[in-house]
Amino acid sequence: MFIKQIKLSKKMFLSIFLIILMILSLIYYSAFTNSSEAKLKNDKSFIKWVDFGITTEILEKTAKLDIDSHNNKEKIQFNWIELLSYLACKNGGNFKNFKQSDLDLLIENLKNGKTIEELTKNMKYYNYYFESYSAVLDQFIGYYFIETPNSDGTKSLKYQYGIKAFSPIAKNYNFNHYDDFGNSRSYGFKRTHLGNDLMGSIGTPIIAVESGIVEACGWNQYGGWRIGIRSLDKKRYYYYAHLRKNHPYIKDLHEGQFVMAGDVIGYLGMTGYSQKENVNNINVPHLHFGMELIFDESQKESQNEIWIDVYQIIEFLRKNRSEVYMCNKETKDYSRKYEFCENEQFIYK
């Protein structure tokens, strides 16, 4: 009896041991597959960070090369984003170290028939820079239709190639700014400034820099009356904040609305920094302008948002400002003076 009991215990022991082993291998297997999945998710190859360090001077130089080569119908037509990405490989993305000789040699090689693929095949980070800069600048230069004034007071429609992104401040309205990206802000919680403040007069018409869809519109305790516009390729989210008390937006502006580059969208003000709606709690009237890059939708509202320093871009866009006029005396709303579109179908509709 005693011996049998021991035998039974041994059997039981073996069974328990086997069960534990099975449980352990199940745990191990699930942990392993989970971590593989997690690894795949982490390895999903989208860009996680961009430092936009291109100076206005280099944006202007490369834009001119691109635009002139298209307008003059030259045999070799340059793409400014390719030129900028090549230069970034030469200076590590810091354009304060720009060398004119690098650009001259690149242009000479391209004119002599070498392709950008050949010239960049040994540049490890070329694709990274090209994808990053495309995410920022892709819709800034291209073909578009615009109304232009004639000497007899009429307007005619022109099809042309050039800069088709607009300054966020309407033409003939003054503003000043400095590079305040990354400065610290203290309202709510300690955080850094993820945009550029453009100081101007209350009521200054605010312009859509690029065509897109209104994704956010209404009160936000930090931004006050604000507008968020997503570019049509979904890569850029433009943020316009602290708009005017009582009359922040043009009439009927709403989420889901399509706005064209150069359209009036709202008015400069000093709202924000308040949980209560429609409160001026900012000392100096200004537009807060920001640009977020989105390579994967998971980045849009996350701990890993990519906001870039837009100071040099605002300077670059000074030369392309949308002229406006008061289109409605009752609502005191403004509208663009010259129609514009990137697609023929829109303008003739």
> How many residues contact Zn ion, by CB under 5 A?
3
Q: Which is nearer to Zn ion, 230 or 288 (CB)?
A: 288
Tell the smallest beta-carbon distance from residue 180 to Zn ion (Å).
7
Task: Give the amino acid at 189.
Answer: F
Tell the smallest beta-carbon distance from residue 288 to Zn ion (Å).
3
Q: Which is nearer to Zn ion, 80 or 181 (CB)?
A: 181
> 319: Cβ–Cβ under 8 A, 6 or more apart, which residues?
163
Q: Which two tokens stand for residue 318?
A: 């000074």
Site string for Zn ion, 10-39 (x = CB under 5 A): ------------------------------
State the DSSP string of 6-74.
HHHHHHHHHHHHHHHHHHHHHHHHHHHHHHHHHHHHHH------------HHHHHHHHHHHHHHHHTT-
The stretch near Zn ion (CB under 5 A) out of 47-55, 83-91, 127-135, 197-205 is 197-205
Give the residue ranges of DSSP H helices in the chain. 2-43, 56-71, 80-91, 100-111, 116-120, 126-137, 311-316, 344-347
Residue 309 within binding range of Zn ion, rule CB under 5 A: no
Q: Which is nearer to Zn ion, 195 or 248 (CB)?
A: 195
Tell the smallest beta-carbon distance from residue 197 to Zn ion (Å).
4
The stretch near Zn ion (CB under 5 A) out of 35-43, 138-146, 284-292, 328-336 is 284-292
Residue 226 within binding range of Zn ion, rule CB under 5 A: no
SS3 call for 197: strand
Q: Which is nearer to Zn ion, 139 or 280 (CB)?
A: 280
Residue 288 within binding range of Zn ion, rule CB under 5 A: yes
The stretch near Zn ion (CB under 5 A) out of 35-43, 62-70, 259-267, 285-293 is 285-293
Q: Are 215 and 229 in contact (CB under 8 A)?
A: yes
Residue 197 within binding range of Zn ion, rule CB under 5 A: yes
Q: Which is nearer to Zn ion, 195 or 200 (CB)?
A: 195
Residue 263 within binding range of Zn ion, rule CB under 5 A: no
Q: Which is nearer to Zn ion, 273 or 334 (CB)?
A: 273
Q: Which two tokens stand for residue 320?
A: 């392309």
Look up tokens 């989105």; give the residue.
Answer: 294
Q: How far is CA 280 from CA 191, 206, 225, 251, in A?
A: 21, 18, 10, 21
Site string for Zn ion, 154-193 (x = CB under 5 A): ----------------------------------------
The stretch near Zn ion (CB under 5 A) out of 108-116, 151-159, 286-294, 311-319 is 286-294
Site for Zn ion in 56-115 (CB under 5 A): none
Tell the smallest beta-carbon distance from residue 195 to Zn ion (Å).
5
Question: From CA 140, how far away is CA 160, in angstroms rounded?
Answer: 13
Q: Which is nearer to Zn ion, 61 or 242 (CB)?
A: 242
- Cβ-closest residue to Zn ion? 288
Closest CA to 307 of 182, 124, 145, 156: 182
Q: Are 277 and 183 in contact (CB under 8 A)?
A: no
Q: How far is CA 185 from CA 97, 222, 285, 293, in A?
A: 30, 11, 16, 21
DSSP secondary-structure letter at 244?
Answer: P
Chain contacts with Zn ion (rule: CB under 5 A):
195, 197, 288
